[in-house]
Amino acid sequence: MSTTTDSYRGALEAVDRIVNREQEADDVLRKTVEVLHDRFDHYSWVGIYLVEGDDLVLGPWKGPQATEHVRIPIGEGICGAAAASGVTEIVDDVNADDRYLACFVSTRSEIVVPIAYEGSVVGEIDIDSDVPAAFRPEDRELLERVALLISPHCLVGWDRPSQWAEQVGGSPEAP
């Protein structure tokens, strides 16, 4: 799918519908990950990490492979940097960034968008792309809006993220 303005608007509307329809936080987060992964070719791997104490713990994810980084201390890696600062990180060339924690050999660029609730970072959206410098201002804008929409649903799962880390495939549709 080519990424037109309509693609971004359509994805935001789809997430808005999910947030309004779904009762369970787990369903909101899982379906949001699916929408983002399935609607944008340059979103090769999409995951949500949730803050648990001083760590980020992997929640729902969708992509070709599982990551070994299911728990990342806040402050480590690109994920940990975004959680520590509360500011979106866009890395055009992951191999040129010393902070980068490698997950997949095919990854070329990455965006990490913090999810804040009442001023505290409670999670983040992490997207790896196989395309160099894949993330543009429209991606940042979309994902920061998605983060706002799903933020209330990142609180009730605080005692549950480990369940996601164990789950092979990350989502029921994944192989």
Task: Please report how close the Cβ of residue 72 comes to ligand SME at its closest, in angstroms.
Answer: 6
Size of the site for ligand SME (CB under 6 A): 14
d(CA 86, CA 110): 16
User: According to CB under 6 A, which one of 25, 28, 78, 115 is a site residue for ligand SME?
Assistant: 78
Length in residues, the chain = 175
Indicate whether 69 belongs to the interface with ligand SME (CB under 6 A). yes
User: According to CB under 6 A, which one of 32, 44, 67, 151 is a site residue for ligand SME?
Assistant: 67
Write each residue from 93 to 132 as x if it is in contact with ligand SME (CB under 6 A), else as -, in one continuous string.
-------xx-x------x---------------x-x----
Burial 23-52 (b: 16+ CB within 10 A, else e): eebbebbbbbbbbbbebbebbbbbbbbbbb
* Residue 150 CA: distances (Å) to CA of 50, 95, 155: 12, 30, 10
CA atoms within 13 A on the CB side of 62: 18
User: According to CB under 6 A, which one of 79, 90, 125, 147 is a site residue for ligand SME?
Assistant: 79
Indicate whether 77 belongs to the interface with ligand SME (CB under 6 A). yes
Task: Please report how close the Cβ of residue 106 comes to ligand SME at its closest, in angstroms.
Answer: 11
Query: Can you say how many angstroms the Cα of residue 153 is from the centroid of all Cα atoms in its chain?
Result: 14
Alpha-carbon torsion (10, 62, 155, 148), positive or negative: negative
Task: Please report how close the Cβ of residue 48 comes to ligand SME at its closest, in angstroms.
Answer: 11
Which residues are at the interface with ligand SME (CB under 6 A)?
Answer: 47, 67, 69, 72, 77-80, 100-101, 103, 110, 126, 128
